[in-house]
Amino acid sequence: MYTVSNKLKIGAIILMVVGALGIVTGFLSAPSNVAEAKAMVASHGDSHGESHGDVVKVIDEGHGSYKEEGHAMTEAEHDEHVFHQLANKPWAALYVAAFFFFMIALGVLAFYAIQRAAQAGWSPLLFRVMEGITSYIVPGGIIVFVILVLSVMHMNHLFVWMDQTVVDKDVLLQGKAGYLDPTFFLIRAAIFLAGWIGYREYSRKLSLAQDESDDNSNFKLNFRISAAFLVFYLISESIMSWDWIMSVDPHWFSTLFGWYIFASMFVSGITVIAMVTIYLKSKGYLEEVNDSHIHDLAKFMFGISIFWTYLWFSQFMLIWYANIPEEVTYYITRIEDYNLPFFGMVAMNFLFPVLLLMNSDYKRLNWFVVMAGIVILAGHYMDIFNAIMPSTVGDQWYIGIPEIGAILFFAGLFIFWIFRALASAPLQPKRNPFIEESRHFHY
């Protein structure tokens, strides 16, 4: 039976405390008026700022960085625009980190359901690890939902379409008003979270019950509900990606965006499974998990990284080549204002995994897999950062106290929660019908 070490507990709590201080500092240091925003920009040298005489996008009525082509800003409009971008910054940093750690657990949930539905023989020894990581869906999902509720209550302005004054001036948003409705938005989010959490809790219950059962009825029921859940998951995950991420820029859309976000969360989840497994083995647990199990997880890390790159390039190439103004502006903004994080995350999510994990022997080296995993996780955090920040803070971005604080807080909460869940049940299933196959798995 695994027990959480005091060192790990204290480390997680320290991360949460330091992170919480950083989050609070970010909110306290956010400008409360235009004059403070101007002073902040001046202190940073206006390195990201744009000339207020330029022809840029602006319909913001004070909320976010949504723009309209062909409107030359006056100095007052420019200052007001920058003020609302900077006011959004701590909220955006909080949302990016909250969603990133939540999506890791959601990616693991998909991988777990696939293993159950496929009746995979290699992975049962890893089921308890997966169940521990997916426990974070409960607190992580609740936190994201609270941020969405606060958005609907206009406590922040991450979603420009939630401001009726903006909708009244925008014909396109008026056409989407039936779907982009704040109440309907929250109803969808509640249904998705209820489905994900409900499956996780019920599947976990069946998994533990199987250990004490004298037949395979719990295993068979788990198989059936996992197969059904995957249908719900594919639909709900796609809609979630449109709602929670793509709608921050409601004039832009991509028909493969759901798959793109899925690939990001899937590879991040598998990476964390590998890293947690390696940690537990280093502490003397999971003795029957061998190098072949780690090798298979690393193969998934490598393969899904290639899949993510395929989707990224397909989306980028088709939109860029078509040169449709309302679509290509998505990439123009990121190439002009987010050049380093935009292309840097492509290198971290594609080049590094390919170079580090292409060799089969390296997939069996625990320290090498961990090193590759750290790069992959950092790269996919930047992926979510690039998806949210340009539409919420515009060119006023930088990695500062709010971003670092949010990462530390949610990393601490994630570690504390999942390892507490791992300590609540034996790490090795007893009566899974494929447990012997998993024990003797060799690649």
The band of 123, judged by pLDDT with boundaries at 50, 70 and 90, is: very high
Angle at 46 between CA 159 and CA 99, to 5 degrees: 30
Q: b/e string for 124-144 if b means 16 or more Cβ within 10 A?
A: bbbbbbbbbbbbbbbbbbebb
Question: What gap in Å lies between CA 333 and CA 12, rounded to an integer?
Answer: 36
In whole angstroms, give the CA distance from residue 3 to residue 25: 34
- Assess whether pLDDT exceeds 60 at residue 283: yes
How much is the pTM? 0.90
How far CA 105 is from CA of 94, 264, 265, 275, 298, in Å, comes to: 17, 12, 8, 14, 18
Local confidence band at 294 (pLDDT 50, 70, 90 cut-offs): very high
Split at pLDDT 50, 70, 90, the class of 443 is confident
* Structure-block tokens of residue 150: 């606060």
Residues 316, 260: contact at Cβ < 8 Å?
no
Predicted pLDDT at 313: 92
Return the biggest CA–CA distance within the chain: 76
Q: How confident is the model at residue 208 (pLDDT cuts 50, 70, 90)?
A: very high
pLDDT value for 116: 95
pLDDT at 61 over 90: no
- How many angstroms separate the CA atoms of 57 and 325, rounded? 13
- Count CA atoms within 13 Å of residue 1 on its CB side: 6
Buried b (16+ CB within 10 A) or exposed e, 8-38: beeebeebbeebbebbeebeeebbeeeeebb
Higher pLDDT, 281 or 2: 281
CB atoms within 10 A of CB 223: 16
pLDDT of residue 58: 39
Whether the pLDDT of residue 24 is over 80: the answer is yes
Transcribe 342-389 into DSSP letters: HHHHHIIIIIHHHHHHSSTTGGG-HHHHHHHHHHHHHHHHHHHHHHHH
Range with top average pLDDT, 160-174, 283-297, 337-351, 409-423: 409-423
Residue-range domain boundaries for the chain: 6-439
pLDDT over threshold 70, residue 199? yes
C-alpha span between 307 and 256 (Å, rounded) = 13
The answer to whether 113 and 199 have CB atoms below 8 angstroms apart is: yes
Q: What is the DSSP letter of 428?
A: S
Average pLDDT, the chain: 88
Residue 284 to residues 178, 183, 279, 280, 287: CA-CA distances in angstroms?
55, 50, 9, 7, 7
CA 137 to chain centre: 12
Q: Do residues 438 and 124 lie in contact, with contact meaning Cβ atoms separated by under 8 Å?
A: yes
Q: Which of 79-93, 207-221, 223-237 has the lowest mean pLDDT?
A: 79-93
